[in-house]
Chain A
Amino acid sequence: MKSPTSLTIPIILFLLIGFSGCEKYERVTDSTETSAYSGDFLRKFYDLQCQITKETPGFFPPQAARAFSYVGLTGYEAVVHGIPNAKSLAGQLNGLSANALPQPEVDKAYNWAIVANAASAEMMRKMFELNLSEQNLQKINEMEDYNYSQLYAANPLPVADRSVAFGRAIAEAIYQYSMTDGGHQAYLDAFQLPYILPVGDHCWIPTGATVHPICPYWGECRPFLNQNVVGTQPPQHLPHSADVNSDFYAAAMEVYNQVNNNSAEQIEIARFWADDPFQTCTPAGHTFNLLSQLLEEDDATLAKTAVGYAKLGIAENDAFISCWKSKYDFVLVRPFTYIRQHIDPNFNTVIGTPPFPAYSSGHSCEIGVGETVFTEMFTNGDGKYELSDRTGLQFGFGIRHFSSFSEMAEECANSRFYGGIHYQMDNTEGLVTGRKIGYIVLNQIQWPEVN
């Protein structure tokens, strides 16, 4: 039998090794940088969000853009501490104070991919919340679990647990912030009644079975950057007139002539960008799908992926607020109504006219921000990019090819003219607004360099 003394040294050695192991465990402070992870799993969340947007009642374009934007913001804040020299958006966005978001614990390691996974899943659940079906809730949970199983392997359990907790805390804090922006749970009340429509010759009236216009007070929502609304409002539109010699009559006649002389290609373009009856995840969703495609083509890291979705999200959210403000400030009648009243009582559009006023075009605003963000992220600034938009294949459309992002944006804007649902001034001014918002988002916020 060994003496107690002979056992003492091995026991002490064992304990020392054990404790030193534990210390080393908890002292890891050099978390792997965000850019070391692939952004693939985050892109999959946006694919899923697109699908859920289609299947969840109440997600019209403004609501959908808002949901995409807060998930984007959450993804960025989940990984920002793993990007060298990156600055949180807290303190940079309207109403989000510098100390509003939880901070990672000092001297503790995090897996930023696990943080982003937990945060994005949680925020998606919160954005669709009351209207989220059981089936779609399960899909989010399954995606989160699957990603976690792929991501946690290399990490000690405390790091993984801490990362999940931090991700959920970020999502909760941003959700609290979202609740005060004026669009909280707006999917439950798309028509924001009571709303009294102004009356006048120039004023919008229903163009179909939907007698109330969508989201009349959306322009009062809090933007992420005030300048995106106050600094981007379009000028007064052409003065309304029924005079056949007026500029307004000419603008309506231009729509009428276009619809009656559309080529097969122009009809295809109108339908492609219309984002299809009963089918797509709204125009903003189309642009997010394009961003996902571009990130995949770029083999983007998690850092670039998160920054990309945040940039586009902030810009898209504010584009819809700015555009909706002008829509309800001007309440301009649609070409459909004007043409039937003054040019041809049997006029019909190529695609259905959406139930809200004309000026300016929502599609043009939102694709304008897409153009600006894509140009900054994927080109040297000239906007040239050989883009094959395959997002329509799943809906039975062909692949559309563009040699620059401006060509893409202009086609989208023009599609509303070919469709007969917008005057050209709606589209040109909408594009200007969108491009301005994109520029403000890229320049007024301090973004990290991730290219």
Chain B
Amino acid sequence: MARGKLRLLPFVFIFTVLAACENEPTKKVTVNPIQFMADLHCEAVSLRKARFELADKMRFMEDTLMQSSTSDSAKALLRTQLDNLEPYKDSIVNRSLELSKIIKFTLDSLIEQEFTEMVQRKSFDVELAAELEKRGCR
């Protein structure tokens, strides 16, 4: 079911763009795949940074917990803080997983249907990298 929904995403996106331009029916609107992938990827970059930041925060807290010099009251506080981070972790992981499915599906579709030749794929890689650089998504 989810897979079926994901399959439709690029088409939904394209349809949305087309619908937005329905007052100009004669104007052909095409979605630039580089721009579309860059939009998705920039969100993925933000999520990746958030995941690493959270993972680091959690392991440093766990590290402090393990140290014998940490007082019992500090340990209790840290445990509470760690527990409180769990819902945020779940949320960020779920969003990341959903987005990764969308990106994977979009990329596979582009590779298998649009950029079937290796030379086209290389060009796609270069153009995408340039667009991401321009947007500061690294």
Contacts and interface: CB of A to CB of B under 8 A. Distances in A.
Interface of A: 47, 51, 54-55, 135, 138-139, 142-143, 206, 208-209, 271, 276-279, 296-297, 348, 352, 386, 388, 390, 393-399, 401
Contact of B55 (A54, A139, A277, A388): A277
Contact of B2 (A135, A206, A277, A398): A135
Given A206-B66, A279-B51, A395-B48, A139 B118 contact: no
A206 B60 CA distance: 14
A4 B18 CA distance: 71
B52 A399 contact: no
A397 B48 contact: yes
Contacts of A51: 101
A352 B59 contact: yes
Nearest to B60: A348
Contacts of B103: 393-394
30 contacts: A135-B2, A208-B63, A209-B62, A271-B52, A276-B48, A276-B51, A277-B54, A277-B55, A278-B89, A278-B96, A279-B93, A279-B96, A296-B112, A348-B60, A386-B122, A388-B121, A394-B100, A394-B101, A394-B104, A394-B107, A395-B44, A395-B96, A396-B44, A396-B45, A396-B49, A397-B48, A398-B129, A398-B132, A399-B125, A399-B129
B125 A395 contact: no
Contacts of B52: 271, 276-277
Nearest to B65: A209
A236 to B, nearest CB: 30
A410 to B, nearest CB: 21
Contacts of B3: 139, 142-143
Contacts of B49: 396
Contacts of A348: 60, 63
Interface in B27-60: 37, 41, 44-49, 51-52, 54-56, 59-60
B14 interface: no
Contacts of A278: 51, 55, 89, 92-93, 96
